[in-house]
Structure 1
Amino acid sequence: MDFSNNSENSSFGSSNDTKVLNNMLAREILKRQALENKVTTLERQIQALVTDVAATKTTYMTLQHATEGVSLRQNNMAASLQTITQRVDSENDNIKQRLRYLSNITSKLQTSGVPTPQASVAFLARVTTDNPTQHGPTVSFEMTDFNLGNGYFPSWGYSCHL
């Protein structure tokens, strides 16, 4: 039996095994580096998403605050408009009362036989649309609240000479 060949075979086999193991180790190292690169890329993407979420939250909160401000301003404007409307309605009622009072006084004066220096004419008429009917200098109103001295004729309108 020749032992020298055995040791040659054994060293040759050992050398091949080492090469195979080194190749396997190199492949595993490359796989590990590829995985580490993927992990690094995913970590960057996650960080970018976290930053985007934080920016989105900030934008959302800013918009929510702005919306609350707009709602508050709308409520304030609605309350102001309601107050103004109440004042206008109240003033219109006062004017109607004064005109009725004047009409009563005029009627009493006319029925009592006391001569009046001049016939009084006053009317309160209004339109309920944005575009009143107008033909030349004549304007036709849609509602007549008061017509002292019958100076306004709804069928004719009111003619004003400017």
Structure 2
Amino acid sequence: MGKNLAWKTQDRLSVVVHNECAPTDLEWNIYLNHVRENVNIPNLRVLVWTDGGSPDGRQRKAMEVVARQGYPNPPPLAVVTQSIVVRAVMKLASIFNPHIRCYSPDQISLAYMYLGLTPAERDLASQLMRELRGELRSTSIAS
């Protein structure tokens, strides 16, 4: 079975990539540990790319608990997806966390602007998204 979720944090930028499937509970728990490790990063920015996969209700609730405990001021979160379902879920989530914005892939530059990324960080974000998407594809091919 391949991976459904990959992530990497470099400096103040955290990039998360989902394929079209929901993350497994194991993947999500490992990711939550990563989130807990990032709480002290000043000016953290989070960019999520998803091909349609997203955490289920239990997983979102677990993230909410971690976020409330570790992030009194949540970092800006830009979600990039073509999925109408994910956009609807994120719109609902933004009611509880006004730092969430959702963009279509052709609006990636708006996502970068929302996050306040420098030109170098934009390049890094693009590079990390390519690497992480490739990682997910290679694990699904190897399975």
TM-score class normalised by the smaller sequence? under 0.3
Of structures 1 and 2, the larger Rg is shown by 1
The two structures have a TM-score, normalised by structure 2, of 0.24
TM-score normalised over the length of structure 1 = 0.22
**Between structures 1 and 2, the one with greater helix share:** 1
Of structures 1 and 2, the one scoring higher in RCO (CA 8 A, sep 6+) is 2
